[in-house]
Amino acid sequence: MRKLLALLLMISMVAFTTDYAVAQDDPNVAEQVIEGAGNALEGAGEAAGNAAEAAGDMLEGAAGAVTERKFGHQLLKEYFIQGGWQFMTLVLICLILGLAFCIERIITLNLASANTDKLLARVDDALRDGDMEQAKEICKSTPGPAASIIHEGLKRSGGGIESVEKAVVSYGSVQMGLLEKGLVWISLFIAIAPMLGFMGTVIGMITAFDRIEEVGDINPSIVAGGIKVALLTTVFGLITAIILQIFYNYIVSKIDSIVNRMEDASTSLVDILIDNKRV
């Protein structure tokens, strides 16, 4: 915008200088020179005014956007209160408890995700050196279900391949149950949240019809207000279920990945024991 104003002033000055040079030869042109300069300055002033007005509109729009964001946050609180604190509180409790279980599972599964290839390489090196106890200590010091399964396999290595495979399968089932701990509660909250929302909607509709019965006339404001409040609980219930469902699917995919690593580690352990003649 500054460049535009400078360009307009420069053009005005050039025009004024040129006309002034001509006016020296013809005095009658002086009035035209003065008038042209005045018009140029007036145009520059008008451009500056338009620029200031545009800048003001931009600032007003930015302030309006900030106000709208604040209003949206306040609107969320207002909708929460309008939906009825009884059912809205129950939906909120489902969301908080569900997120707590999700966060706990995510942290636990991330800690359980160990590098099984590196672990098996260390166990293989210890067995090649003939140190079974060192291999067991490596498994004990490594967190995660894969290390626990390998440790159980090493403990049963003296009973042959069948004993090792049986121990791995049995202990793998135990570790699988530990990985899935808490998923039942997350599924419960995913199912309960929209149900509570629907229940609040039904009760809100009943309340709206009770008001119509009391008034004795179908007032659009009463019907619309009652339906709006009734549907708010459904909206919040569905939002809660969607959020928890996303976390649930992530946790399930994480568990599947860990289980696949456990199965690969179990197969590799049998091969390592055979190669080192430990079974």
Query: Angle at Cα 159 formed by Cα 153 and Cα 165, nearest 5°?
Result: 40
pLDDT of residue 57: 55
Alpha helices in the chain (DSSP H): 2-25, 29-82, 85-112, 116-128, 132-141, 145-155, 161-179, 183-215, 220-275
What's the average pLDDT block by block, 10 residues per block, for the chain (279 residues)? 44 44 43 48 48 46 44 65 75 93 92 82 87 88 87 84 86 88 93 89 79 73 70 88 96 92 86 80
Q: Whole-angstrom Cα distance, residue 160 to residue 164?
A: 6
Tokens of residue 54, six digits: 């545009």
The amino acid at residue 69 is R
Cα diameter, the chain = 122
pLDDT of residue 22: 41
pLDDT of residue 191: 94
Contacts of 231 (CB under 8 A, 6+ apart): 201, 204
Q: How far is CA 34 from the centre of its chain?
A: 66
Query: Angle at Cα 236 formed by Cα 233 and Cα 238, nearest 5°?
Result: 105
pLDDT of residue 115: 79
Q: Whole-angstrom Cα distance, residue 186 to residue 176?
A: 17
Q: Whole-angstrom Cα distance, residue 243 to residue 186?
A: 11
End-to-end CA distance of the chain: 84
Q: Whole-angstrom Cα distance, residue 37 to residue 41?
A: 6
The residues spanned by each domain of the chain are: 2-78, 87-279
pLDDT of residue 40: 43
pLDDT of residue 48: 41
pLDDT of residue 53: 56
Assess contact for 60 and 66: CB atoms under 8 A. no
Contacts of 9 (CB under 8 A, 6+ apart): 44
The amino acid at residue 87 is F
Q: Whole-angstrom Cα distance, residue 151 to residue 133?
A: 10
Which is nearest to 45 in space by CA: 4, 81, 98? 4
